């Protein structure tokens, strides 16, 4: 299969590219498109055959449900029942934006694979001009996980999608780099107390200002839970080829680690700019120190870049678990399988 890459920036007349993408989707195909978080791989969410193509293209386990993207907030009532006051407040405050709400699904409307057999569905309205234009032209909901091969870091550029899915999907809408760089916050609002199933761009603090107390299980708590509430949590995620280890963002500790590893390893270091002089074999910047927005925007590109090197071990600096730092550490802990570098 040939994979079309269609530019959809604002400087050229791109209406034909949207028409082409909409035609493909209407005909049961999958299309990759940018959102404000990461690139998504979309299919019409009511079309079971089309949705199955997403799972096939990604190599995604079939028990991992997909997020449904909508172009207008009103559409939410077409797919969900018993919308709570908490859910309404969240939509009002954070849509369009990087917040997925897990709600009660109306039966027999969405393709069964979208919800992976659950009675709930995760829905969001993305805040990206290309995603919104695509959805509003299509006038149908799009089921869309991240547009990467399952297990790999999510794509933040069209070229990342191309690397993973060329020849497997028919079309990529190229809208440049995505802004936030980590996936949406997933908030379950079906329970008496809302629970963050996955941290993201909308932080616990931001949510609590609008809806009061919110639960956020830690990485360790999620690991020991036998039936994960977000089925995706049990799978390996965001992993480059070489093993990743978390390390403190401390010059002495990093220097000693590199010196120690150098004899048997090619070492890649993912760290803020202030560590770029460290003597690693490969260095990838995570932006200015203490700037969580720069770090989240750079993270997946840096993890993916490691696969283009001969690195045999990857050290990634930890950051504080506040604000967007919570989402960054969640992805890094998964990329590292919870492992910290031990001398
Ligand atoms: P991805 O599509 O790769 O961004 O992953 C979507 C995440 O949302 C996964 O961790 C899913 O398990 C989670 N998710 C999607 N729908 C639901 C749902 N109905 N209930 C719980 N978690 C969900
Ligand atoms: Mg994903």
Q: Which class is 4-224 in CATH?
A: alpha beta
Burial 220-252 (b: 16+ CB within 10 A, else e): eebeeeeeebbbbbbeebbbbebebbbbebeee
pLDDT at 219: 72
State the Cα–Cα distance between residues 209 and 216, nearest whole angstrom. Answer: 15
pLDDT band at 225 (very low <50, low <70, confident <90, very high): low
The model carries a pTM of 0.95
**Cα 341 to middle of ligand 1, angstroms:** 30
**CATH fold label, 244-335:** Rossmann fold (3.40.50)
pLDDT at 245: 98
Q: Which atom of ligand 1 is nearest to the CA of 120?
A: 19
Q: Give the residue, by CA position, lying nearest to ligand 1 atom 5.
A: 145
Q: Give the residue, by CA position, lying nearest to ligand 1 atom 10.
A: 232
Helix (H) or strand (E) holding 284: strand 282-285
- Nearby residues of 23 by Cβ (< 8 Å), 6 or more positions away: none
Q: Which atom of ligand 1 is nearest to the CA of 100?
A: 8
- CA neighbours within 13 Å on the CB side: how many for 186? 23
CB 152 within 8 A of CB 164: yes
Among 210-219, 253-262, 272-281, the least confident range: 210-219
Domain with CATH 3.40.50.11030 in the chain: 244-335
Domain with CATH 3.90.870.10 in the chain: 4-224
Residue 226 has pLDDT above 60, yes or no: no
Pocket test for ligand 1, best of 43, 64, 161, 194 (most atoms within 8 A of CB): 64
Where does ligand 1 bind, in terms of residues with CB under 6 Å? 64-67, 102, 115, 118, 120-122, 145-146, 183, 186, 197-198, 229-233
Average confidence score pLDDT of the chain = 95
pLDDT band at 291 (very low <50, low <70, confident <90, very high): very high
Q: Give the residue, by CA position, lying nearest to ligand 1 atom 21.
A: 230
């Amino acid at each position: 299969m040939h994979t079309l890459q269609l530019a959809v920036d604002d400087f050229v007349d791109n209406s034909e590219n949207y028409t082409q993408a909409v035609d493909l989707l209407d005909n049961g195909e999958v299309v990759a498109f940018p959102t404000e978080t990461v690139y998504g791989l979309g299919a019409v969410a009511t079309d079971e055959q089309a949705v199955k193509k997403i799972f096939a293209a990604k190599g995604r386990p079939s028990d991992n449900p997909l997020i449904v993207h909508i172009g207008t907030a009103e559409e939410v009532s077409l797919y969900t029942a018993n919308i709570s006051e908490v859910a309404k407040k969240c939509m009002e405050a954070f849509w369009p934006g990087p917040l997925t709400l897990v709600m009660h699904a109306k039966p027999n409307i969405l393709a069964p694979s979208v919800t992976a057999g659950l009675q709930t569905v995760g829905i969001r309205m993305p805040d990206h001009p290309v995603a919104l234009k695509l959805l509003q032209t299509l006038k149908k909901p799009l089921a869309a996980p991240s547009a990467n091969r399952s297990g790999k870091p999510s794509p933040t550029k069209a070229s990342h999608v191309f690397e993973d899915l060329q020849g497997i999907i028919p079309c990529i809408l190229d809208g440049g780099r995505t802004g936030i760089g980590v996936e949406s916050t997933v908030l379950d609002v079906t329970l008496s107390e809302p629970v963050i199933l996955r941290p993201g761009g909308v932080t616990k603090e931001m949510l609590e200002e609008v809806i009061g107390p919110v639960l956020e299980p830690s990485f360790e708590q999620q690991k020991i839970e036998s039936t994960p509430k977000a089925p995706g949590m049990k799978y390996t995620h965001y992993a480059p080829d070489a093993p990743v280890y978390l390390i403190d963002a401390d010059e002495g500790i990093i220097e000693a680690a590199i010196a120690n590893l150098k004899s048997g390893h090619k070492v890649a270091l993912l760290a803020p700019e202030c560590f770029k002089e460290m003597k690693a074999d490969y260095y990838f910047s995570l932006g200015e120190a203490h700037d969580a927005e720069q770090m989240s925007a750079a993270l997946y590109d840096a993890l993916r870049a490691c696969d283009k090197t001969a690195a045999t071990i990857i050290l990634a600096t930890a950051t504080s678990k506040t604000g967007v730092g919570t989402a960054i550490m969640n992805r890094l802990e998964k990329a590292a399988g919870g492992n910290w570098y031990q001398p």
